[in-house]
Structure 1
Amino acid sequence: MSIRNFIYYGLLSVLMLSCKQVYEPLANGIYFGEAVNENLKKVTIEENGAQTSVYVSLASPMDYDVTAEIGVNSSVLDEYNKKHGTNYKLLPDSYYSLKSNQCIVKAGELSSSMIDIDIKAFDDNLEMAEKYAIPLKLQEASDVDILQPSSSIILLCDKMIVTKVIYSSQGGATGASPTMSYEIQDGEKPIEDLLSWTIEFLVYNESFSLNKHILRFDGLDGKANTFARFGQHSFPENQFQLTLLNLPIHAVTLCEKKKWYHVAVTCDGASVKLYLNGELDVIASHPEPNTKISWKKLAFAIGNPGALSEARIWNVARTQAEIANNMYAVNPESEGLISYWKMNEGEGTLIHDYTKNGRHMNLLKSCIWKDQKFPPEK
């Protein structure tokens, strides 16, 4: 054999070996079927409790039954809370039961049957404003590997909240004709020097028309530095718009009438983010980076005929996970929460601030309260 042929066949052998390594099939593995894209599953706990289920899947079928053991693992929840800055608590085991702790994938199949999980109705022994979860993890499996990225799933247990919301059919503007407002009096400390902050509220519109205000926060100079409305002139009437220090920020998502939206605006001194129903909608650069903001007068308006609920101000920029997991209620003693109006009074003209800061708003228009469930029915 010539030197040239020797080199040729040697290189060919190397390439064949490399291809064998690249295309060799991966070992089979088992995982939670619903945890492929996200290791979370939300469950709404209604007045009669709730039922949900989980199942496991294989990467490819086997010619024999595969059994997997599942169990509750608190460290999974601890890791999630640490990563996302949340405070989910482990739901006491007296409030739920697993039909079985074994999932069996039959020979020739890819997925197991459903394992039902019954969750009891929450009662007064559980704190209403606290968030609870059931963290499940694959503990053992017969003759296959456990695929770690999808080896756990957290059941986020959201209690159905029955409350009252404030409703008006009049509409109005937060500047000239607000629905409710609070103004810091002489000698009282204003909300000031906030580099990072978050504003949240729930809003419902029966219908839309242009230039319908929703909030206006005035600075120490008496001028609006934070302003929001639906339907800025020449823009769609169902488009939410925030203006911060004269920078207009328009939502990408257009809102639908007769549907509840959770709106959250966060600022970290460098960027401003708008979230709708817990989903990031817009990111904008801060108009004046590292500028601290102050508010002396706070006003909300039900601009379009509709309702408001759960308005909050924080002195921190909330994360997406914190926003999405606490849209309908929070603990009034939460760190960073500096004003919290549930707007659930049901009577009277005082809208209570549930934080210790006591910035109670005065109701300035004739409104009614309506019964409402959160999460809202779709």
Structure 2
Amino acid sequence: MKLSYIFSALLLLSVAAACKKAPEYAPKLYFTDTEQFPEKTLTVDGPSTVGLSVTSSIKVDRDIRVSIETKPDLVESYNQQNNTHYQALPAGSYSLATNNGAITIASGTNRSDVANFSILSLDQFEEGVTYCLPVSITNVEGGMDVLESSRTMYLVVKRTIITQAASLASSRYFRVPGFAADPALASVAALTMECRISVNAFQTANPFISSVMGIEENFLLRFGDVSILNSQLQLAGGLINGRKFPVTSKGSFTTNQWIHVAVVYNGATIALYVNGVLDNYTDAQPGGVNLTDTYSDGFLIGRSAGSRYLNGAISEARVWTRALTPTELQNNLCYVSPDSPGLLAYWRFNGDISGNDVPDLTGHGYSAIANNTITWIPGVRCP
């Protein structure tokens, strides 16, 4: 009898719990497509216009008037919070067209009309600088709340760079002998190698290797090997304190397409990135990468181990003594300030040379020395 009573009581409690209403969430407003990430990136090569709008999480039953306003003063705090290095858009280079400072979500819909954001002129833009203009929701008429994480949209504006690149065809390559001469580089605790390349053709003869940059048997970014596709990216070696941690890309790549490739060692993992997006990684160990290693001519760009050349072209190659974040990689595909913290060496390969040496823009003196007369490829656009 007692067990029957207990069972009945438990049954009533479970029914009561099931009948409780699910929590109700108030509808929210947010800048369209920023509910997950507040940035919207625009790449421009002249005057252009893009529409901005606000979205409601439900269809509204009355007109909702949303006031928006540019907030260039927020750029500095955003940089500090996100480890970015944006500059405020130059005054006079843009406009934001609204209906008396507002946009409206009409009754029966869930998206507003558009406010036209326009880049009017690039005259004040500096090459390689990434600009930002925050736009905030400042007032709502109609009784709806704003999703606070999306109250402000950060318009990130990049100017297309048109430059030259160095051909690596016909067995051309570059040496960086300055690394071997610097004892401070014998054990680098964190490292990023990155560059922008285009491949004319992947190697079809054994061992099917097209070398990008680095040191053979130590820390070498390359395509192909006997055990992988000739078009797969690989960090070969990955030598940390006597132990190797190689990693290979999940996918393969096509010819005649400009891509940004990077390898990042942070003391715990070695990761491959393509166009700033993580492709694959492997667990590693704390220690140091030896950039002074002179095996097979030391640090090379476009070649390794005798005749493992890259048949292609290169632009924007850099080596850092710190692990860049994905955001940093994505924002710096085309250019970075030569005085950026942790930037060890920077070669633009844009035709600015001294003899046959491509200068290291950091001022550290790690010139990239060509093995032959450099052939330049004009009209290379980035991004």
1:278-304 Cα deviation digits (max 9, x unpaired): 101112122x53235333542101634
Residue range with higher mean Cα deviation, 68-77 or 362-371 = 68-77
Q: 1:228 corresponds to which residue?
A: 221
Match of 1:213 among 211, 214, 223: 211
Q: 2:150 corresponds to which residue?
A: 150
Q: 1:31 corresponds to which residue?
A: 30
- Contact kept, 8 Å, 2:209 with 2:230, in 1: the verdict is yes
1:326 aligns with 2:332: yes
Q: 2:107 corresponds to which residue?
A: 107
Task: Give, as a single letter, the amino acid of the residue that structure 2 aligns with 1:202.
Answer: R
Task: Give, as a single letter, the amino acid of the residue that structure 1 aligns with 2:335.
Answer: A
- Give the distance between the partners of 2:359 and 2:155, measured in 1 at CA: 33
Task: Give, as a single letter, the amino acid of the residue that structure 1 aligns with 2:351.
Answer: E
Q: Secondary structure at the match of 1:34?
A: coil
Q: 1:162 corresponds to which residue?
A: 162
- CA spacing shift, 1:182–1:141, aligned 2, 3 Å: same
- CA spacing shift, 1:11–1:256, aligned 2, 3 Å: same
Task: Give, as a single letter, the amino acid of the residue that structure 1 aligns with 2:300.
Answer: A
Alignment of 1:264-303 (within 5 A): 264-286=262-284, 288-295=285-292, 297-301=298-302, 303=309
Q: In the TM superposition, what is the alpha-carbon distance from 1:352 to its structure 2 partner?
A: 1.1
Residue range with higher mean Cα deviation, 59-68 or 325-334 = 59-68
Q: In the TM superposition, what is the alpha-carbon distance from 1:156 to its structure 2 partner?
A: 0.9
- Contact kept, 8 Å, 1:45 with 1:121, in 2: the verdict is no
Q: Secondary structure at the match of 2:139?
A: strand
Q: 2:306 corresponds to which residue?
A: none
- Give the distance between the partners of 1:187 and 1:156, measured in 2 at CA: 40
1:365 aligns with 2:372: yes
1:316 aligns with 2:317: no
Q: 1:221 corresponds to which residue?
A: none
- Contact kept, 8 Å, 2:165 with 2:315, in 1: the verdict is yes
- Contact kept, 8 Å, 1:217 with 1:295, in 2: the verdict is no
Q: Secondary structure at the match of 2:229?
A: coil
Alignment of 1:234-249 (within 5 A): 234-243=227-236, 244-245=238-239, 246-249=244-247
Task: Give, as a single letter, the amino acid of the residue that structure 2 aligns with 1:306.
Answer: G
- Give the distance between the partners of 1:363 and 1:63, measured in 2 at CA: 68
- Contact kept, 8 Å, 1:184 with 1:190, in 2: the verdict is no
Q: In the TM superposition, what is the alpha-carbon distance from 1:197 to its structure 2 partner?
A: 1.5
Q: 1:175 corresponds to which residue?
A: none
- Contact kept, 8 Å, 2:69 with 2:137, in 1: the verdict is yes
- Give the distance between the partners of 1:373 and 1:153, measured in 2 at CA: 31
Q: In the TM superposition, what is the alpha-carbon distance from 1:7 to its structure 2 partner?
A: 7.2
Q: In the TM superposition, what is the alpha-carbon distance from 1:49 to its structure 2 partner?
A: 2.7
1:57-77 Cα deviation digits (max 9, x unpaired): 111122221110111234654
1:6-29 Cα deviation digits (max 9, x unpaired): 97998599547x623x15x43222
- Give the distance between the partners of 2:10 and 2:230, measured in 1 at CA: 72
Q: In the TM superposition, what is the alpha-carbon distance from 1:340 to its structure 2 partner?
A: 0.3
- Contact kept, 8 Å, 2:187 with 2:287, in 1: the verdict is no
**Percent of paired sites with the same residue:** 24
Task: Give, as a single letter, the amino acid of the residue that structure 2 aligns with 1:203.
Answer: I
**Structure 1 regions of 5+ residues with no counterpart?**
172-177, 219-223
Q: Secondary structure at the match of 1:183?
A: coil
- CA spacing shift, 1:186–1:370, aligned 2, 3 Å: closer
Q: 1:43 corresponds to which residue?
A: 42
- CA spacing shift, 1:183–1:190, aligned 2, 3 Å: farther
Q: In the TM superposition, what is the alpha-carbon distance from 1:106 to its structure 2 partner?
A: 0.7
Residue range with higher mean Cα deviation, 345-354 or 241-250 = 345-354
* TM-score after normalising by structure 1: 0.85
1:153-174 Cα deviation digits (max 9, x unpaired): 1111111111110113324xxx
- Contact kept, 8 Å, 1:199 with 1:266, in 2: the verdict is yes
Q: In the TM superposition, what is the alpha-carbon distance from 1:78 to its structure 2 partner?
A: 3.9
- Give the distance between the partners of 2:371 and 2:184, measured in 1 at CA: 21
- CA spacing shift, 1:186–1:200, aligned 2, 3 Å: closer
- Contact kept, 8 Å, 1:164 with 1:346, in 2: the verdict is no
- Give the distance between the partners of 2:11 and 2:211, measured in 1 at CA: 78
Aligned CA RMSD, in angstroms, stands at 2.6
- CA spacing shift, 1:29–1:181, aligned 2, 3 Å: same
- Give the distance between the partners of 1:141 and 1:321, measured in 2 at CA: 32
Task: Give, as a single letter, the amino acid of the residue that structure 2 aligns with 1:52.
Answer: V
- Contact kept, 8 Å, 2:175 with 2:371, in 1: the verdict is yes
Q: Secondary structure at the match of 2:329?
A: helix
- CA spacing shift, 1:367–1:233, aligned 2, 3 Å: farther
- Give the distance between the partners of 2:251 and 2:75, measured in 1 at CA: 32
Q: In the TM superposition, what is the alpha-carbon distance from 1:272 to its structure 2 partner?
A: 0.9
Q: In the TM superposition, what is the alpha-carbon distance from 1:249 to its structure 2 partner?
A: 1.2
1:240-290 Cα deviation digits (max 9, x unpaired): 11121243211112112111111111112221111110101112122x532
- Contact kept, 8 Å, 1:346 with 1:369, in 2: the verdict is no
